[in-house]
Structure 1
């Protein structure tokens, strides 16, 4: 069987990052490849960075010391989940010889999830372009997450992407950005959309909450949490729903009726899958709500929101984006997913067509 090494932002305690890595692997399997996730661990998420930040901030040091065992437990849970469903290489760190340690393959795939966002990645991380690796390279739903790039980074990106056989991105804005650099690309779905509701069921934990509930998924910084929870409480009261939140540690969410502790990707997937309503500020929270046909409302995160507006626009769901407290009329607006699912099915086929040609 042909082999594929794919690199993506799979590290950290983010359920979307893990699930899009798994989805990428599943899609490559469908295309006839044996996939391996390149286990690159960038400096920003290493334990060395964790302790360096702790030492340089005496005020936060005691908390970091207390939180460390929780970090280990949570990290183990997230990594164990990914390894259960996806072949992952040995860890590769910034100081390692990337060319030597990157698993050799018939094709090298730059994946999704903020991969080419130089702000998110704290600069130009050359590994995400397989810099120095010789062989067939393609980009599958890679994300830039920015509408304007620093001049030196744009120059480097153009140079690297000229070596790619085919390029696809998950944001409409990225297509235009690359077009302005003279680079042709195809707009495709995020990998998580390539598995439908039935295909995602085996990856979800058992149902965690018996009652009917509203799930609040806010993994990113948000400007006004009180505003979001005014909306949450308003919906919950109108529809008689319990408010469920989550944490990857032991700190209860004071805003929620119930907090699910020590979540992993399977538990978050389950919480979305069985919710009556989802309120989120996450791209993947939005994406899974759409894909699993859940009623949802989205607030923008503080950064990198183009990926959210792109998928909402594609599915004709721009009206599910909130900026203020939800109105009484909005609460009772129900999404009819017939047209949405038609769009998704069309886009899935478009994505598979792209991959079939790119992987020839």
Structure 2
């Protein structure tokens, strides 16, 4: 079959790339021809504000700091340019994504997911995209694989008066799966049906054969993996750097600029995985950062973020870590960072939980596309 994937494959970060690459590769292994489909951004439909866009006053308040560290500001801008250019020129080619979007939604089958494709409250970026809920797709078979609603929920859908529209779109799907409890509840209350719970595509695909043979960074180091603007508070910086100094480690980050780290790298997605594999420790606050650490058996800690101006990660990250027996890796109190990192992660429990979830997730996807 000709299978289209509707996901956020043009987002410039490693997690979006990795989940798209994994899902495409798995579906191709079933014998199908696969391409990514583009969608038009929608209109804001959420009446609240989950993410606060910087105001003019916020922007002006940063000018003195930028002027006081001209060299740091230049390094950050150069890093952003280098990373974004690399992603567009190289990573999109790895996915088979053309430079110009193709908005055709016609195929033999369309898979919606993974990533936060059910998060219609992203007023600051995508807005509400009807196609991500099944509207306007021209295919005899439509299904979802591991979508997340992120910080959107059923209460939002009711308050925004959009529940019926979500329901009518989701009813076009022959098979619905989700990757977390918050999304499961949203779908169940919208449709009256209980969707299948599956794991993220990065947890059903083995990347090991794609990793470079040689280390990306020499020496002992700790990975800091967080989006720009996060994990940059003075308290977090001091706690993390103190731990690294205590253990004689360099601080290495990739994909987002953190000037307080020893090395800020632009690497390929598979070099990033090698970076995780060889790390002594990992500190992250992202969903996929947690997965990359677990896939390589690393000692790691994940900061859980509640409601904040940059958006909460609590729904998806907390569920992931509890689902896989790794809730002991959650840090909500900075004073606990050291003890969490120094306490061995329960990887026997992780494997006992992950393997059956991987197998059932693969079975769902294979059967849905048969």
TM-score, normalised via structure 1 length: 0.82
| 8 Å Cα contact 1:205-1:269 kept in structure 2 | no
- Given the alignment of the two structures, is residue 162 of structure 1 paired with residue 171 of structure 2, yes or no? yes
> 1:279–1:27: structure 2 CA closer, same or farther, 3 Å change rule?
same
| 8 Å Cα contact 1:12-1:75 kept in structure 2 | no
Q: State the Cα distance separating 1:338 from its structure 2 match.
A: 2.1
Q: State the Cα distance separating 1:224 from its structure 2 match.
A: 6.4
Q: What is the match of residue 184 of structure 1?
A: 194
| 8 Å Cα contact 2:130-2:169 kept in structure 1 | no
Q: State the Cα distance separating 1:180 from its structure 2 match.
A: 2.0
| 8 Å Cα contact 2:42-2:127 kept in structure 1 | no
Q: State the Cα distance separating 1:143 from its structure 2 match.
A: 1.1
Deviations 1:158-180 (A, max 9, x none): 11010101001111221122222
Q: State the Cα distance separating 1:241 from its structure 2 match.
A: 1.7
Q: State the Cα distance separating 1:213 from its structure 2 match.
A: 0.7
Q: State the Cα distance separating 1:294 from its structure 2 match.
A: 1.2
Bigger mean CA deviation after superposition, 177-186 or 210-219: 177-186
Q: Secondary structure at the match of 1:355?
A: helix
Deviations 1:253-298 (A, max 9, x none): 3322x22243443343332222111001111111111122111001
Q: What is the match of residue 35 of structure 1?
A: 34
- Given the alignment of the two structures, is residue 320 of structure 1 paired with residue 329 of structure 2, yes or no? yes
> 1:357–1:214: structure 2 CA closer, same or farther, 3 Å change rule?
same
Bigger mean CA deviation after superposition, 286-295 or 200-209: 200-209
> 1:40–1:123: structure 2 CA closer, same or farther, 3 Å change rule?
closer
Match of 1:150 among 157, 173, 180: 157
> 1:356–1:200: structure 2 CA closer, same or farther, 3 Å change rule?
same
CA RMSD in angstroms, aligned pairs only: 3.3
TM-score, normalised via structure 2 length: 0.80
- CA–CA distance in structure 1, aligned partners of residues 188 and 134 of structure 2: 21
Q: State the Cα distance separating 1:58 from its structure 2 match.
A: 9.5
Deviations 1:292-351 (A, max 9, x none): 211100112441321101110111111111111244543420113122122111111110
Match of 2:299 among 295, 299, 322: 295
Q: State the Cα distance separating 1:212 from its structure 2 match.
A: 1.0
Match of 1:235 among 224, 240, 243: 243
- CA–CA distance in structure 2, aligned partners of residues 278 and 173 of structure 1: 26
Q: What is the match of residue 83 of structure 2?
A: 74
Q: How many residues align?
A: 337
Q: What is the match of residue 137 of structure 2?
A: 133
> 1:18–1:300: structure 2 CA closer, same or farther, 3 Å change rule?
same
Q: Secondary structure at the match of 1:24?
A: helix
Q: What is the match of residue 48 of structure 1?
A: none
Match of 2:270 among 266, 286, 303: 266
> 1:274–1:70: structure 2 CA closer, same or farther, 3 Å change rule?
closer
Q: What is the match of residue 213 of structure 1?
A: 221
- CA–CA distance in structure 1, aligned partners of residues 144 and 231 of structure 2: 33
Q: What is the match of residue 6 of structure 1?
A: 5
- CA–CA distance in structure 1, aligned partners of residues 236 and 108 of structure 2: 47
> 1:184–1:329: structure 2 CA closer, same or farther, 3 Å change rule?
closer
| 8 Å Cα contact 1:142-1:169 kept in structure 2 | yes
Q: What is the match of residue 339 of structure 1?
A: 349
| 8 Å Cα contact 1:169-1:188 kept in structure 2 | yes
Deviations 1:96-129 (A, max 9, x none): xx4xx33x32210101111010122553111323
> 1:331–1:304: structure 2 CA closer, same or farther, 3 Å change rule?
closer
- CA–CA distance in structure 1, aligned partners of residues 117 and 238 of structure 2: 34
Q: What is the match of residue 181 of structure 2?
A: 172
- Given the alignment of the two structures, is residue 107 of structure 1 paired with residue 109 of structure 2, yes or no? yes
Q: Secondary structure at the match of 2:235?
A: helix
| 8 Å Cα contact 1:147-1:174 kept in structure 2 | yes
Q: What is the match of residue 225 of structure 1?
A: 233
Q: What is the match of residue 26 of structure 1?
A: 25
Structure 1 gaps of 5+ residues are: 45-52
> 1:133–1:278: structure 2 CA closer, same or farther, 3 Å change rule?
same
Match of 2:205 among 195, 215, 227: 195
